[in-house]
Amino acid sequence: MTACHVSVLLKEAVEALAVKPGGSYVDATFGRGGHSREILRCLGPQGRLLALDRDPAAVAAAGEIADSRFAIAHASFSELAGALDGCGMTRLDGVLLDLGVSSPQLDDAARGMSFRFDAPLDMRMDTTRGETAADFLARADEREIEEVIRDYGEERFAHAIAKALVAARREHRISGTRQLAALVEKAVRTREPGQHPATRSFQALRIFVNRELEELSLVLPQAVARLAPGGRLVVISFHSLEDRIVKRFMRDEATPRQPPKGVPVRAADLPPVRMRLVGRAQRPSPAEVAANPRARSAVMRVAERV
């Protein structure tokens, strides 16, 4: 089961965590457990690792790990604090966030995340709750569809696509991946070489349905609040919108606060910085990208609690 997913920046991410043998860690996106298994290899008998994933299939896969130091929670990023409280973990020595969609999710036709298969238009990472992509396209107005495709997919033909989808649904519900891909393809006049015209629209709908950017914005401060001094936050992003959120958050947490102009506040009275940046953004090596093309857009950023 674990062979179907290759963890990106595996050794680099775990090295960036600077794992202490007796430390407490969170792998906030278990996936198929590549990072979790590597962290467990670095932990001693007193170490602890909590993994999170909102995908029931990933939670089921975690059952393969029979290790008393390991626990899995069916939870999204925004539920990190509650998951930690549930297993009695108060202070952490590291948190790893591996963002985006996993290979098993893309390769499972039933999940409806790829136009490579003809499947129901679902796209949810957590198949037990929430609105499917088909449900959204059935109830949203043209303006909302356009905003989602433009903002989350950075699609310049968002207006034409939204117009085409609203017109099409008057005849038939948009319920299949190939059906959606064909409608988008007709509405997109040009596309970058080597990229399917529906790529950006599928990405946008997936990000929206799963609230991926909102979940990321919610988990970052929760992670920092639980880190012990010297604890590391390691984030692997696969999309420019994700990486922008991570970069700004880490920069803001590592930048000394400035008093408002004209307000007599001493520097000593300002809130101290909570993080320091560790190294520069890191990308996969050419060898890793050649072996796993899905790694090509990955960016890893690291910060440490002070």
In this structure, are 199 and 218 located in the same domain? no
In this structure, are 220 and 276 located in the same domain? yes
In a domain, 24, yes or no: yes
| Lowest mean pLDDT segment, chosen from 59-63, 256-260, 271-275 | 256-260
Task: Give me the pLDDT at residue 105, please.
Answer: 83
**pLDDT score of 177 more than 60:** yes
Are 254 and 63 within 8 A, CB to CB? Answer: no
Residues 161-188 have a mean pLDDT of 97
Domain boundary among 209, 241, 267: 209
**pLDDT score of 155 more than 50:** yes
**pLDDT score of 191 more than 90:** no
Interval 118-138: pLDDT, tens: 999 999 999 999 999 999 999
Task: Give me the pLDDT at residue 268, please.
Answer: 66
| Lowest mean pLDDT segment, chosen from 143-147, 194-198, 288-292 | 194-198
Are 282 and 91 within 8 A, CB to CB? Answer: no
In this structure, are 218 and 204 located in the same domain? no
In a domain, 189, yes or no: yes
Q: Binding site membership for S-adenosyl-L-methionine: which residues?
A: 33-35, 53, 77, 98, 105
In this structure, are 171 and 226 located in the same domain? no
**Residue 135 CA to its chain's centroid (Å):** 22
In a domain, 118, yes or no: no
C-alpha closest to that of 132 among 106, 155, 152, 113: 113
Residue 198 to residues 37, 84, 154, 162, 208, Cα–Cα distance (Å): 35, 39, 12, 12, 15
Name the band, by pLDDT with cuts 50, 70 and 90, for residue 64. very high
Task: Give me the pLDDT at residue 267, please.
Answer: 65
In a domain, 173, yes or no: yes
Name the band, by pLDDT with cuts 50, 70 and 90, for residue 271. confident
Where do the DSSP E strands lie in the chain?
24-27, 48-53, 70-74, 92-98, 227-237, 275-277, 299-305
- Mean of the per-residue pLDDT values of the chain: 93
Residues 55-79 have a mean pLDDT of 96
In this structure, are 145 and 197 located in the same domain? yes
Task: Give me the pLDDT at residue 190, please.
Answer: 78
In a domain, 109, yes or no: no
In this structure, are 71 and 141 located in the same domain? no
- What's the predicted TM-score (pTM) here? 0.91
Residues 204-231 have a mean pLDDT of 97
In a domain, 141, yes or no: yes
Name the band, by pLDDT with cuts 50, 70 and 90, for residue 2. very low
Which CATH number characterizes residue 290's domain? 3.40.50.150
Residue 177, C-beta contacts closer than 8 angstroms, at least 6 positions apart: 112, 114, 115, 117, 118, 119, 120, 121, 202
Domain boundary among 163, 186, 209: 209
In this structure, are 53 and 180 located in the same domain? no
In a domain, 263, yes or no: yes
Q: Binding site membership: which residues?
A: 33-35, 53, 77, 98, 105
Residues 2-15 have a mean pLDDT of 80
In this structure, are 189 and 234 located in the same domain? no
Interval 92-111: pLDDT, tens: 999 999 998 887 887 788 88
Which structural domain range is residue 145 located in?
127-209
In this structure, are 53 and 87 located in the same domain? yes
**pLDDT score of 269 more than 90:** no
Residues 29-57 have a mean pLDDT of 96
What phi, psi does 305 have (nearest 5°)?
-70, 135
What is the rounded CA–CA span in Å between residue 109 and residue 115?
Answer: 9
Domain boundary among 152, 187, 209: 209
In a domain, 110, yes or no: no
Which CATH number characterizes residue 190's domain? 1.10.150.170
**pLDDT score of 1 more than 50:** no
In this structure, are 196 and 219 located in the same domain? no
In this structure, are 187 and 217 located in the same domain? no
Positive or negative: CA dihedral 188, 190, 194, 195: negative
Domain count, the chain: 2
